[in-house]
Amino acid sequence: MTGPGETSFTRLAFAGSLGAFVLIGAIDSVYGPLLRPLSHRFGVSLAFAGTVISVNFTGALLGVLCALAAFRRAPTRPIATFAQAAVAAGCLTIALSRNWPLLAVGVFITGFGFGATDFSLNHLMTRTRAHGRAARLTILNAAFGAGAVLGPVCANVLGGRTLVLGFAVASVFACAMSVSLTGISTTPPAADPHPDRPDRGDAGQARARRHPGMAVAALGYLLYVGCEAGTAGWIPAHLESFRYSPQFATGVTSGFWGAMAVGRILAAPASRTVAAHRMVLAACALLAITLALAAIPAIAPVCYVAAGLAAAPIFPIGLDWLAAAYPRDGPATSWALIASFAGGIAGPAAVAAVVAVIGLPAVPAVLGSLAAATTLAFAGLRSKVVHFETQTAP
C-alpha cells in the first residue's frame, strides 16, 4: 500500500529504471576509449577530443537543474520518461554526426538526458516506501556500475563502428526504456495542517547557511567527481602513451569501473563498523597515492584498477556522512549532487588543458593532485562538522 506522497514502480518500470541506469553508465564510460577514434575521425587533437567529456557533464548539470525545477511543478512520471527520450535523441544525433559541431550537440543532449535520468530516478526511488528502499537504491546504482563496465567492452568489440552502430542501438534502447518508465506513479501528499508555517525548504537553506561545512562538502564532491571522470576518461590515452595496446587500455578502463563496483559492495558491510568520515578520508588518501603511482609505466594498469577500488566508497559513504551531518536538510544532498556534476565538467577539462601544454605524462600528476585536494576538502568538512556540533551542543 502506497502512503501519501509516496512513489511506486511497477515491475516493468523498475526494470526500465535498471535498464536506464545501465545505459547511462555505459555512455558515461565509453567516451574515454573513444578519444583517439574521435581525434582521427574529426581531425582534432587528442586534448580537444577530450572536451567531449566536459560537454557531456555540462549537459548533465543542466539536466539535473531542470529536473530539480520540474519536480516542483510537474507530475513525477513524465520527468523520467522525458529524460530517457532526451538520451535517445542525443544518441541518434551522435550516430548521424558528420562534423564536430553536430557531434558536440549530440553529446550535450545525451548528457542532458543522462543528468536528468540520474537525478529523477534516484529522487523518485528515495520517495518509495521505507521498507526495502535501501535495497532498491543499491540495486539501481549498481546497474550504473554494470553499465560503466559494459561501455568500454562495447567499444572494444565494435571498434570504429561504436560511434554509428553503438549509439544508434543505444538510441533505440533509450526509447524502449522511456516507454517502460510510464509505470511510475505518486500518490498526492497529505494536506498540510499548518499552511501558514515557514517553508521547510527555506528553513533548510537557512540551516545550510549557518553550517559552514556545506560549502566544503560541495567542494569535496566537485573535486572527487572531477577526479573520477578525469581518470576514467584519460586512462586509455595515458596507457597508450606507454605503448600498451588500445584494446588493453580500454580493458583497464573497464577494470577501473569494475573495481569500483566491487568496492562499493564491500563498503556496504564495512560501513556498519567503520565511521563514515574515516572511510572517506582513508579512501581519498589511497586514491591520491594510486593515481600518483600511475606515472610508473610498469605498474600503471594495476594502479588504475586499484584507483577504482580506492574510490569506491567516497561517493556513497560521503552522502551518508553528509546526511548524518544534516539530518533535516534536504538541500544538503541536492547541492552535493549538483556540485558533483560540475566536477564532471571541470575535472576532465583540467586534465585536457594540462595535456595540451605538457603532454600525456602529466595525467597522473593532475589526477593525483585532484585526489589530494579532495582529501583536504573532506578533512576540512570533518573539522567544521566537529566544530559546529561542539558549538551547538546543549
Question: Which residue(s) pair with 186 in the sheet?
Answer: 7
Could you give the CA distance from residue 123 to residue 114 in angstroms, rounded to a whole number? 14
Q: Which residue has the cell 553536430?
A: 102
Measure Cα distances from 140 to 123, 155, 346 in Å: 12, 24, 26
Class of 201-394 per CATH? mainly alpha
Span 353-370, pLDDT tens digits: 898 899 999 999 999 999
- The domain spans of the chain are 8-186, 201-394
Indicate if the pLDDT at residue 318 is higher than 90: no
Contact 18, 238 (CB under 8 A): no
Indicate if the pLDDT at residue 2 is higher than 90: no
Span 150-177, pLDDT tens digits: 888 888 888 778 888 999 999 999 999 9
Span 209-221, pLDDT tens digits: 445 567 888 899 9
Could you give the CA distance from residue 148 to residue 30 in angstroms, rounded to a whole number? 8
Q: What is the total residue count of the chain?
A: 394
Quick one: pLDDT at residue 204? 44
Would 8-186 and 201-394 be classified into the same CATH topology?
yes
Q: How many CB atoms lie within 10 A of CB 214?
A: 23
Indicate if the pLDDT at residue 260 is higher than 80: yes
Could you give the CA distance from residue 252 to residue 245 in angstroms, rounded to a whole number? 11
Predicted confidence band at 373 (pLDDT cuts at 50, 70, 90)? very high
Which CATH number, 3.40.50.970, 3.40.1010.20, 1.20.1250.20, 1.20.810.10, labels domain 8-186?
A: 1.20.1250.20
Indicate if the pLDDT at residue 344 is higher than 50: yes
Residue 377 grid coordinates: 576538502
Could you give the CA distance from residue 360 to residue 199 in angstroms, rounded to a whole number? 51
Could you give the CA distance from residue 226 to residue 348 in angstroms, rounded to a whole number? 7
Give the pLDDT mean for 368-392: 77
Type of residue numbered 224: Y
